[in-house]
Amino acid sequence: MAEVKERTFIAIKPDGVQRGIIGEVIKRFEVKGFKLVGMKMLHASEDLLMQHYIDLKDRPFFPTLINYMSSGPVVAMVWEGKGAVKTGRVMLGATNPADSAPGTIRGDFCIDVSKNIIHGSDSVESANKEISLWFKQEELVSYTSCAYSWLY
C-alpha cells in the first residue's frame, strides 16, 4: 500500500500564524486521518523562499510574495496518508479565497488572495521537492499510528 505513504508539504503562512489558526489546521488534517511526520516553525530565509517559489520568479507579484512570506514565522509540516496531496489541496480550497467553498481552510478563514494563509503541494513531485527543500531527512519521523487499522 505505497499510496498510504504518500506525503505532502503544507505550510501555514505568516498571516495564518499571526491569526492563530495553527491548531485548527492541524486538527483538520488529523481528523481527516492524515499522520503528521514533520513540523517546525521558522522564519523562512529569502533564499529558501526564492527556491520554493522559483516557478513564479517571472510573475509581477513575485517580490511581493517573497516579502509577504518573509514577514513573519511560517509553520512547515509534512503530512502522510493515502491521497495526501490531492486531498490536502481540496481541504485548503482554491488559491483565491473568493473561489473557495465553505468548509475548506481558505473558504472558512480567508478573504483576499494576497493573504491566503496556507500553502499545499500541488503534485506528488512538487511535494517531494518541497519536503526536501524545507526538511532534512532526519527531521521526518516514521511510525505506525494506532488508528492505521481503522483508516485503511
pLDDT by residue for the chain (152 residues), tens only, comes to 567 899 999 999 999 999 999 999 999 999 999 999 999 999 999 999 999 999 999 999 999 999 999 999 999 999 999 999 999 999 999 999 999 999 999 999 999 999 999 999 999 999 999 999 999 999 999 999 999 999 99
The answer on whether 95 is annotated among ligand-binding residues is: yes
Q: What is the pLDDT of residues 74-110, one digit of tens each?
A: 999 999 999 999 999 999 999 999 999 999 999 999 9
Q: Is 52 an annotated catalytic residue?
A: no
Q: Which of 119, 120, 131, 135 is catalytic?
A: 119
Q: Are 92 and 118 in contact (CB under 8 A)?
A: yes
Location of C-alpha cell 511560517: 74
Q: Using alpha carbons only, give the angle 135, 136, 142 rounded to the nearest 5 degrees.
A: 90
- Check the annotation: does 59 bind a ligand: no
CATH class of 3-138: alpha beta
State yes or no: 96 annotated in a binding site.
no
- Domain ranges for the chain, please list them: 3-138
